[in-house]
Amino acid sequence: MKSKKLLAALGDLLDRKKSKKLEYRDELKALLAKLEKKEVQLQEKIPLEKNKHKLERLSKELEVVKVQHAKGMKTLRQLDVE
């Protein structure tokens, strides 16, 4: 192959990686938005709950959602830096 064809092939390969990265970032943003919505819903339910067992379950679920949201935000920041 000549150098122009090699450079074109390399450019196509890099663009695919970049487009995959952008697609992944967009999916991650959508999931983070859903997690944030779920977190708000759980925070609203907790003060209204009277049952002790349900309250514990909701608290644990809220904690998991918060941790996952934090992990997702960290990953998103790393993607934006690259």
Three-state SS at 57: helix
- Residue 48 is predicted with a pLDDT of 92
Structural domain contains residue 34: yes
Number of domains in the chain: 1
Structural domain contains residue 8: no
Residue 82, pLDDT > 80, answer no
61: pLDDT confidence band, cut at 50, 70 and 90?
very high
Could you give the CA distance from residue 6 to residue 22 in angstroms, rounded to a whole number? 24
Task: Tell me which residue range forms the domain holding 55.
Answer: 25-81
pTM for the model stands at: 0.75
Structural domain contains residue 30: yes
- The end-to-end CA distance of the chain, in Å, is 31
- Residue 13 is predicted with a pLDDT of 67
